[in-house]
Structure 1
Amino acid sequence: MDKAALVATPLPVLLLLLCLLLLLMMGVAVGVGSVPISQTTVWGIIIHKISLAVGEVSWLTPHWSMGRENIVWAVRLPRTILAAIVGASLAMVGASLQSVTRNPLADPHLLGVSSGAALGAIIALLHTGMILGSVTVPVFAFLGALLAMGLVLLVANFSAADSAGRLILAGVAVAFVLTAFGNLFIFMGDHRASHTVIFWMLGGLGLAQWGQLWFPFLTLIFCSAYLIYKARFLNAMMLGDETASTLGVPVQRFRLLVIVVCALLTGAAVAFSGVIGFVGLMVPHIVRLLVGGDYRKVLPLSALLGAVFLVSADIVARVIMPPEDMPIGILTGLVGGLGFIFLMRHRRGVVL
Structure 2
Amino acid sequence: MRPGRKQRVPAKPEIGPRVALTARDAQKRRQPHFGLAKERPVSPMFSMICQCGFLGFWRVAVGPAALAWRRILRDGRIALASGVCLGSVAVHAQAPQLVSVSPPRGATGVAVNEPLVFTFDRDMDTNIPLVPSLPGIFVGNIEFDPPGVAFVDGVWSGNKRVLTCTPGDDWPPNTTITWRLNPVGSLFPLTSATGTPLGMVSGQFTTGAGGGGGGDTPELVAVVPTIGAVGVPVTTTVTFVFDRPMKKTTPVAGAIQWQGNGLDPARFSYSWSADGQNLIADYDGDLPALTMIAWRLNPPEATARLESTEGVPLPADTFSGMFTTGSTGGGGGGCDPDGIP
Q: Give the alignment's TM-score, normalised by structure 1.
A: 0.21
Higher strand share: 2
Q: Give the alignment's TM-score, normalised by structure 2.
A: 0.22
- With CA pairs under 8 Å and 6+ residues apart, which has the higher RCO, 1 or 2? 1
Higher helix share: 1
Q: State the structure with more CA Rg.
A: 2
